């Protein structure tokens, strides 16, 4: 399968340099790597090797370098996002921007493992995941991460960092503090006079969803709100009738999580439109965790969503820094970090309409 080079001249390797400089390949390697052993060589030898390398335009082959078990200054980024790569612009790119910025700043190239995932048919195919070994280390991102293949990587000592909090003990991650941020949003709604809320989350069990739910519940309890029917699971397609019931029950605000599919949010928007409700006059809407810069607008109007914003870019940057620490063998704590989310004012948050105000029970 070794294709012949059409135009003859093969790219130079260390043995070419060795021949030109009259030394051995091993010497070339020592000199070029600049190791202590290499520096100990005679000045003349060093120089002639460097000259020869320069003359031939030598550049080390990263693949061979990597095979010989050094590092190759490449970081991987593997995404498990459900909708990826179709809805590629959403939720993935803010992360990518941060990752890329920091990687570039640190002199690391970036491998996007999007093709492997596709080839295997499923992104969680163990074989596909194993492919990340080309890189020195890898970032994982996505709500649903297959544990088995990643666990095997961990067993082999392969460095990786999750972007997003993980429940598995010991795995390094850089996440966002959804709990605090979600609680804060509910507190804000309560301060605006909302006493009866609903929180919409999707069906899956991703930590990002659980954390938001936890935060919403905590915020509700701390504000003395009723938490009985607070949490609602939805796939986004069943909201029309529900929304009507909620209104009848005195609900004045709905909190919804932002996911990679956006199912809950889209469904809610459609339901609000269908019901002919205006936001925020009839109903306040809060969005938990839009990616920075993509806040989106509320149904039926140009109002920006209030809620909080996930510091995707910062997470990307931090994750790269942590990964490089791990690659460098630095196992000192902490290897887990939660970044604060930024609260966002928005036109979708307004004081609760007084007519439907329900007095607190306790």
Partner DNA sequence: TCAAGGGTCTAATACGTATTAGCGAAACAC
Partner DNA sequence: GTGTTTCGCTAATACGTATTAGACCCTTGA
7 contacts which partner out of a second copy, DNA, none, CB within 5 to 8 A by kind?
a second copy
The tokens for 16 are 């070419």
Note whether 232 and 196 are within 8 A (CB).
Answer: no
**Using rule CB under 8 A, residue 14 touches a second copy:** no
Note whether 336 and 173 are within 8 A (CB).
Answer: yes
Q: Omega of the bond prior to 280 within 30 degrees of 0, cis? A: yes
**Using rule CB under 8 A, residue 296 touches a second copy:** no
Q: Which is nearer to a second copy, 40 or 228 (CB)?
A: 40
Binder to a second copy among 36, 43, 157, 355 (CB under 8 A)? 157
Q: Which is nearer to a second copy, 133 or 242 (CB)?
A: 133
Note whether 160 and 137 are within 8 A (CB).
Answer: yes
- Residue in 147, 145, 149, 220 with CA at minimum distance from that of residue 179: 220
Tell me how far, at minimum, the Cβ of 110 lies from DNA, in Å: 21
Which own/partner pairs from 237-244 qualify as long-range (CB within 8 Å, at least 24 positions apart)?
Answer: 237/263, 237/267, 238/267, 239/200, 239/267, 239/268, 239/270, 239/271, 240/270, 240/271, 240/274, 240/275, 242/271, 243/268, 243/271, 243/272, 243/275, 243/277, 244/275
Binder to DNA among 41, 82, 110, 338 (CB under 7 A)? 41
**Using rule CB under 7 A, residue 69 touches DNA:** yes
Binder to a second copy among 115, 224, 250, 340 (CB under 8 A)? 115
Q: Omega of the bond prior to 307 within 30 degrees of 0, cis? A: no
**Using rule CB under 8 A, residue 112 touches a second copy:** yes
- The helices-and-strands tally (H runs, E runs) of the chain is 14, 12
Tell me how far, at minimum, the Cβ of 159 lies from DNA, in Å: 16
**Using rule CB under 8 A, residue 130 touches a second copy:** yes
Tell me how far, at minimum, the Cβ of 19 lies from DNA, in Å: 11
Segment near a second copy (CB under 8 A); pick from 72-80, 215-223, 337-345, 351-359: 72-80
Tell which phi-psi region holds residue 48, choosing left (phi > 0), alpha (psi between -120 and 50) or beta: alpha
Binding site for a second copy (CB under 8 A): 1-3, 5-7, 9-11, 57, 59, 61-64, 66-74, 85, 88-89, 93, 97, 100-101, 103-119, 126-127, 130-131, 133-134, 152, 154-157, 329
Binding site for DNA (CB under 7 A): 1-2, 10-11, 13-15, 22-27, 29-30, 32-33, 35, 37, 40-42, 44-46, 58, 60-61, 64-65, 67-70
């Amino acid at each position: 399968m070794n294709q012949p080079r059409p135009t003859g001249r093969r790219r130079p390797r260390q043995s070419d340099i060795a021949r030109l400089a009259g030394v051995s390949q091993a010497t070339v390697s020592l000199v070029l790597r600049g190791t202590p052993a290499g520096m100990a060589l005679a000045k003349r030898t060093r120089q002639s090797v460097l000259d020869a390398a320069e003359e031939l335009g030598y550049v080390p082959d990263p693949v061979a370098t990597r095979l010989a078990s050094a590092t190759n200054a490449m970081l991987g980024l593997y995404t498990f996002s459900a909708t990826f790569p179709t809805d590629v612009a959403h939720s993935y790119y803010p992360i990518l921007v941060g990752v890329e910025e920091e990687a570039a700043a640190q002199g690391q190239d970036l491998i996007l493992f999007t093709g492997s995932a596709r080839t295997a048919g499923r992104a969680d195919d163990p074989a596909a995941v194993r492919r990340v070994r080309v890189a020195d280390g890898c970032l994982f991102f996505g709500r649903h991460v297959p544990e088995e293949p990643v666990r095997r990587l961990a067993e082999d000592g392969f460095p990786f960092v999750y972007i997003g909090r993980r429940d598995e003990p010991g795995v390094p991650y850089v996440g966002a503090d959804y709990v605090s941020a979600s609680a804060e949003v509910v507190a804000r709604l309560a301060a605006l006079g909302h006493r009866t809320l609903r929180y919409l989350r999707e069906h899956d069990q991703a930590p990002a969803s659980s954390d938001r739910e936890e935060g919403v519940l905590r915020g509700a309890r701390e504000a003395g709100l009723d938490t009985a029917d607070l949490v609602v699971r939805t796939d986004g397609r069943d909201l029309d009738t529900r929304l009507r019931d909620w209104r009848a029950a005195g609900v004045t605000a709905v909190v919804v999580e932002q996911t990679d599919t956006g199912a809950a949010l889209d469904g809610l928007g459609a339901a609000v439109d269908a019901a002919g409700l205006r936001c925020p006059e009839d109903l306040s809407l809060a969005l938990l965790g839009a990616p920075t810069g993509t806040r989106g607008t509320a149904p039926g109007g140009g109002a920006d969503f209030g809620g909080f914003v996930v510091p995707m870019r910062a997470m990307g940057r931090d994750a790269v820094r942590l990964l490089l620490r791990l690659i460098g063998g630095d196992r000192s704590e902490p290897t887990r970090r939660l970044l604060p989310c930024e609260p966002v004012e928005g036109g979708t948050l307004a004081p609760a309409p007084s007519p439907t105000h329900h007095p607190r029970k306790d």
